[in-house]
Structure 1
């Protein structure tokens, strides 16, 4: 039985990760920021922790809540998608929210969680996006989101050097039918998460610090 941590698990892809790992018989620790989210996690049999990744003070309490754990898999799923393009400047509020949730939260979590992943020689995955790939950008839609996820990819690549006994990757879930992805997306949450679980299970150390797609294919020119 593996021990799995899912950060940002109250809905969508995060909740699907919890459900699939629980169904596989794994022990799951998962975070949400409100009572409704915590209740959904407990209903699936997860150990629920209250964490708001947008609030540094909340994130700082994660270490003591996980004291003594060894994590076979850790997932940073939390994310927001501000609308807008380069046709107009982003508001400070939209920029700050994206950078706090998509990037700063992950950077604050890494020193707390990565040593626990190293202790199990496990995998630590951060949900990025194909929209963060610099090569072949087709438009400026979601440019704040793109920038935050591209910065996340760099943070993961950098952090890998400090935690060599763990495998850290940035991973795109694909275009998924969630509140963020919309109903017309080609991938169901079930398919995306199943793909990512298989990909994470077969990772090797040489893939540490890279940016990969949900099915394991590497992104070129990212």
Structure 2
């Protein structure tokens, strides 16, 4: 039976990934930060762990718990956004919140979970954004978020060289109707996750280190 690990599954895209993969018969492992969310995932049939990706000891505890576990698909979904444009000086608090969750969290987790995914010959996908792409930028909206996701793309592309037995990618879920995306977004969570599941199933060695869009398009320029 195939196994997925979803990091950051308390709501939105992460929660829907848990729901759909569980319904598809996968063994689902997932992380959240509070017991209420943990109970919600357990009700869906997932094995849920309490993890804070910003705390090295918490990530190490997860890696220890998963030692020897098959992981065919890893998903780093944890992320936050701050929306000011380049006319606004980022506060230290906003910078730390965005960069620590979107970049540092992934970089702390990858060296500890990456070997487990590689041992299974699996895919490790990190949720990024089309807003991370440097070519064709049309405004500075959420510039701090843009910078964090561009940094995440580089972190994954660089790390791929150390995990040749796995396929590491970044994945753009599209503009989705979540707390982060807002009600005006054109994609429902279900549509985005359905698209991503198809795209993830198509990942090949040629995609290693690349940014893929939810609908299967491969980014040509970053």
TM-score, L = length of structure 2: 0.98
Match of 1:38 in 2: 38
Whether 2:112 is the aligned partner of 1:121: answer no
CA distance in 1, matches of 2:200, 2:122: 9
Mark the runs of 5 or more structure 1 residues left unpaired by the alignment. Answer: none
Aligned to 2:185: 185
Deviations 1:146-175 (A, max 9, x none): 000000000000011111111010000000
Deviation track 1:1-31 (CA, whole Å, cap 9, x = no partner) reads: 2011000001000000000000000100000
Give the Å deviation of 1:139.
0.9
Q: Distance in 1 between matches of 2:90 and 2:65?
A: 36
**How much has 1:60 moved relative to structure 2?**
2.5
Is 1:174 the equivalent of 2:155? no
Partner of 2:16: 16
C-alpha contact 1:54 1:97 (8 A) present in aligned 2: no
Q: Give how far 1:73 is off.
A: 0.4
Instruction: Name the SS of the counterpart of 2:74 in structure 1.
Output: strand
In 1, the alpha carbon distance for the partners of 2:170 and 2:79 equals 13
CA RMSD, Structure 1 to Structure 2 (Å): 0.9
Residue correspondence of structure 1 range 93-112 to structure 2 within 5 A: 93-112=93-112
The 8 Å contact of residues 3 and 27 in structure 1, kept in 2 or not, is answered as: yes
What is the rounded CA distance, in whole Å, between the counterparts of 2:10 and 2:74 in structure 1?
15
- Counterparts of 1:59 and 1:89, CA distance in 2: 32
In structure 1, C-alpha distance between the alignment counterparts of 2:192 and 2:40, rounded to whole Å: 20
| Corresponding position of 1:79 | 79
Q: Distance in 1 between matches of 2:153 and 2:81?
A: 16
- Partner SS, residue 212 of structure 1: strand
CA deviation map 1:44-67 (0-9, x unaligned):
110000001122332232211211
For 1:46 and 1:207, the matched residues in 2 are separated by: 28
Unaligned residue ranges in structure 2 (runs of 5+): none
Contact 1:169 1:211 in 2 (8 A): yes
Give, in whole Å, the separation in 2 of the partners of 1:85 and 1:92: 15
Shift of 1:184: 1.2
For residues 138 and 59 of structure 2, the distance between their equivalents in structure 1, rounded to whole angstroms, comes to 35
Q: How many residue pairs get matched?
A: 222
Deviation at 1:114, TM superposition (A): 1.2
Instruction: Single out whichever of 53-62 and 157-166 deviates more from structure 2.
Output: 53-62
CA contact (8 A) 1:60 1:108 kept: no
Which whole-Å deviations, capped at 9, do the CAs of 1:192-215 have from their partners, x for residues lacking one?
111111111111101110011001
